[in-house]
Homo-oligomer: A and B are copies of this chain.
Amino acid sequence: MEIKIVRNVLEANDKLAAEIRQRTAESQTLLVNLMSSPGSGKTTLLEKLVPMLQLKGHKVGVIEGDITTTMDAERLQPLNIPVVQINTEPFGGDCHLGAEVILPALESLKLSQLDQVFIENVGNLVCPAEFDTGADLNVVLLSVTEGEDKPLKYPLMFRVCQLALISKTDLLPHLGLNVNLLRQNILKINPKIGIIPISSNSGEGLSAIADWLSIRLKRAQIQNIAR
């Protein structure tokens, strides 16, 4: 009986995720789901990356997911972009964002005017990987302070992502981390994943992310025109 209910929840989620993909395809908007442990630097990355994407002419929006507080949405206010805050506390303090909360959040954005919408998921390296948000791309951040073993210990997250960002590389001189081993462990779980080392402090890797996203945005727009 329990299994049946879990399946129903996942099936309902997948239907809504498909609906989200149809809408973002119609509006030619790339939906990018950022996931990581708490404090790996998702919000700081958005603060630095969004202006770079704006310089490339992208119109960007953000869906902020947190259990509680609007602190992250407030941090993005200086960017002067549309930001929707989802708090999962009314839904029982959910540890992830499901398609059922992303769909109404997208509806409150003017999708036809946006090239790219980022979802900043709840800080959690486990549960968000289990629920399809309807995003076109899943991106995981793993900070250099978290250790080389994390891809092996939290494999689903690295399996569902197309891009892994090794964040906070400015701290590497103060740590004993073996970056090559971390890369190997990521690729052991997902040999097709892209890997970019980044630092929102030093700026390392940020233009590489902007390029990576631009290519995928163009690709998605060409595919939609070809339909």
> B-contacting residues of A (Cβ < 8 Å)?
2, 5-6, 37-39, 66-69, 71, 92-93, 95, 122-127, 130, 143, 145-147, 149-150, 152-156, 168, 170-171, 174-175
Which among B37, B143, B149, B153 is the interface contact of A67 at CB below 8 angstroms? Answer: B153
Check A154/B67 contact, CB under 8 A, given A2-B5, A123-B125, A171-B145: yes
CB<8 Å pairs between A and B, sample of 15: A5-B5, A37-B146, A38-B125, A38-B147, A39-B147, A66-B153, A67-B153, A68-B153, A68-B155, A71-B153, A123-B154, A124-B124, A145-B168, A170-B174, A171-B174
Identical chains bound together, number: 2
Count chain B CB atoms within 10 A of each CB in A2, A38, A92 and give the residue with the most: A38
Q: Which chain B positions have C-beta within 8 A of A5?
A: 2, 5
B150 and A38 form a contact (CB under 8 A)? yes
Q: Which chain B positions have C-beta within 8 A of A130?
A: 93
Q: Determine the distance from Cα of A37 to Cα of B150 in the docked complex, in whole angstroms.
A: 11
Q: Distance (Å) between the CB of A43 and the closest chain B CB?
A: 9
Q: Distance (Å) between the CB of A84 and the closest chain B CB?
A: 17
Q: Which chain B positions have C-beta within 8 A of A67?
A: 126, 153-156
Q: Which chain B positions have C-beta within 8 A of A2?
A: 5
Q: Determine the distance from Cα of A147 to Cα of B38 in the docked complex, in whole angstroms.
A: 9
Known pairs A66-B153, A68-B152. 17 more at Cβ < 8 A?
Answer: A39-B143, A39-B145, A39-B150, A67-B154, A67-B156, A71-B149, A71-B152, A95-B126, A95-B127, A123-B125, A123-B153, A123-B154, A124-B124, A124-B127, A127-B127, A143-B145, A145-B168
